[in-house]
Amino acid sequence: MISSDRGTAERGAAEAITYRVAESERDRSAVLKGDFISKTVFKVVGSEGGFTIRPARLDPPVHKVFPDGEPEDDEASEGRRRFVALDGELVCGYVDTEYEPWNRRLIIADIEVAGPYRGRGIGRTLMSCAISWAQECGAGHVWLEVTNINAPAIRAYQRMGFTFCGLDTSLYSGTESEGETALFMSLFLD
């Protein structure tokens, strides 16, 4: 069980969300529907000397639903770890991580919080679990990728201390996300 200072988010008078490393097959195989609504896009504007990233209002807002995903392989490797948020026995959120020792990077491979549970600090607490794991591994930084139209996530990551560190204009080519830009963000721990 994760320590109580970051392990429990109050939910009503009697119920609480608990956090821990995925233990069971159910924990490891849970897949939540990924979606968001954004009123902002972070536009990548090229220039002679590079690029800038600027927020721009979307009218109308965009509602994005990610294609149904499959969990990563069922076997946890030494460098992979999933933390789950539980409402009783129900997985209401998770973060999947992978540590790469060659460059001391902990990758946030996926982070999801079920719709009815958003806005309660669950994503922040899951990210805190991942950052603690990164520190245990000796990671120098935590890294993630996010689409430029997922402004709610980008703003949340920025509030957690992540900053932009790169982009890829071709990552989503030929996919349902054609036309979006992959933004890379990192949080330095050293």
**Overall domain count for the chain:** 1
Higher pLDDT, 58 or 4: 58
Q: Give me the mean pLDDT over the 83-102 stretch.
A: 95
Per-residue confidence (pLDDT) for residue 149, from 0 to 100: 95
Q: How many CA atoms lie within 13 A of 137 on its CB side?
A: 26
Residue 59 near residue 41, CB atoms below 8 Å: no
For residue 91, list its beta bridge partners.
86
Q: Which two tokens stand for residue 174?
A: 């030929």
Using alpha carbons, select from 76, 107, 109 the residue that is nearest to residue 94: 109
User: Percent of the chain beyond pLDDT 70?
Assistant: 86
Higher pLDDT, 95 or 44: 95
Instruction: Check residue 81 and report its DSSP letter.
Output: E
Higher pLDDT, 101 or 48: 101
**pLDDT class for 32, splitting at 50, 70, 90?**
confident
Q: Taking the CB of residue 181, how many other CB atoms lie within 10 A of it?
A: 21
Using alpha carbons, select from 155, 172, 171 the residue that is nearest to residue 163: 155
Radius of gyration in angstroms for the set of CA atoms belonging to the chain, rounded to a whole number: 17
Per-residue confidence (pLDDT) for residue 5, from 0 to 100: 38
Give the domain range for residue 113. Answer: 4-188
Model confidence pTM above 0.85: no
Residue 14 has pLDDT above 60, yes or no: no
Per-residue confidence (pLDDT) for residue 51, from 0 to 100: 85
User: Percent of the chain beyond pLDDT 90?
Assistant: 67
- CATH code (residue 60): 3.40.630.30
**pLDDT class for 185, splitting at 50, 70, 90?**
very high
